[in-house]
Chain A
Amino acid sequence: MHLLTASNLSVFRGERLVLSNVGFSLQAGGILVLRGENGAGKSTLLRTLAGLIPLAAGELKWDNEDALNDLPSHAKRIAWLGHLDAVKPALTAAEHVPAAALAPVGLSAYAELPARLLSAGQKRRLAIARVAAAGRPLWLLDEPTTGLDAASVLRFLALCETHRQGGGMIIASTHIPLELSGVQVLTL
């Protein structure tokens, strides 16, 4: 049973203190939703948790050990979905993720289609499929439902539930309520 603990996190972006004394604790199977106005620091917090932005102060612990001490090892715990899809137009959907991972997001029919021909919502679904296929315990998701239609949001929620039931953790910034039980909310 993994445990992620953040205490007194403070982060600067340039000269600006974006996050100050942020803390939370998340156990295996937990979901933490980040809320806040635009510019409140949701994306910054996610990038900090991923180790992409250094901490100015505070601690991030994974199973009571400093998580950011060894960034490559920490990265292997993380499945990342940024606000950009990181989809390569020249590759097919099946070249981005294993073909079996496309079914849960409803993209099986598009497996051999170059990603440049996918719609914005389909690219987002492909990015979600990559997260689900990564097999990593901690999902960090920045506005994961952007561009998704209602049916795709339901598929996404089902993937989240499966991940959670498997002992995974999810930290997501989102403007829409996640219709999942036991969701923690952190307002920035």
Chain B
Amino acid sequence: MIPLILRELKLSVRHGADTTASLLFFVIAGTLFPFTLGPGPTTLAAIAASVVWVCALLAALLPLDRLFGADYEDGTLDLLLLSGLPAYGVAFAKTAVHWLTTGLPLLVIAGPLAIMLRLPAERVPLLLLTLLPGTMLLSLLGTLTAAVTLGARRAAVLMPLITLPLMIPTLIFGAAAVTSAHPAAALYMLAAMFCAALPLAPLGAGAALRAAAE
């Protein structure tokens, strides 16, 4: 699995535009809010965590249609399925690469963006703590929907329509953990969802990949 992850990372670096586009979208979408709501710190601080979460979710969706799409179109998907790795292993490797090239950079930029949106400084570590499992969940569920919609007509439209509702619980608990006076319960819920998705999403994605390859 490690050689596959390294190869995919190399391809991601060569296609750096995908990661850059996600990050730019994240920053630009986040900076639009002060233009419409005004620079008042109270208003911005109240919505900062939610804005960062929603923008991260939407930014993470951007590269998903190419996650398997390019491999499907050029025949590489067959090679991946015949690499000797189980299909869920291929899906897990793709999930890891998506998180490393999209989730992790979003996590790095989320802090400065949150500060720009006037989130109280003492809340920023908590935001990042929620985004850590949150971005991983985004990658897991995004990989699942990317596999499920692979080969479908209008997959790029279907994918967010499936992914966004799946991510609602993550958004609720992620944003609640940052704004609540007692964040532990929401953090536990995020951790529980991550623990559930970690084995199940690659299994589902692997089955979907096999179906797409038929």
Contact = CB atoms under 8 A, between A and B. Distances in A.
B11 interface: yes
Contacts, number: 54
Interface residues of A, number: 24
Contacts of B86: 71-72
A50 interface: yes
Contacts of B84: 72-73, 75-76
A82 B15 contact: no
B214 A86 contact: no
A90 B82 contact: no
Given A72-B84, A72-B85, A86 B78 contact: yes
A53 B82 contact: no
Contact of B74 (A50, A54, A80, A87): A87
Contact of B75 (A50, A54, A82): A82
A85 B85 CA distance: 20
Contact of B15 (A51, A90, A95): A90
A91 interface: yes
A87 B75 CA distance: 8
Interface in A126-161: none
Interface in B35-75: 73-75
B79 interface: yes
Contacts of B79: 80, 86
B77 to A, nearest CB: 8
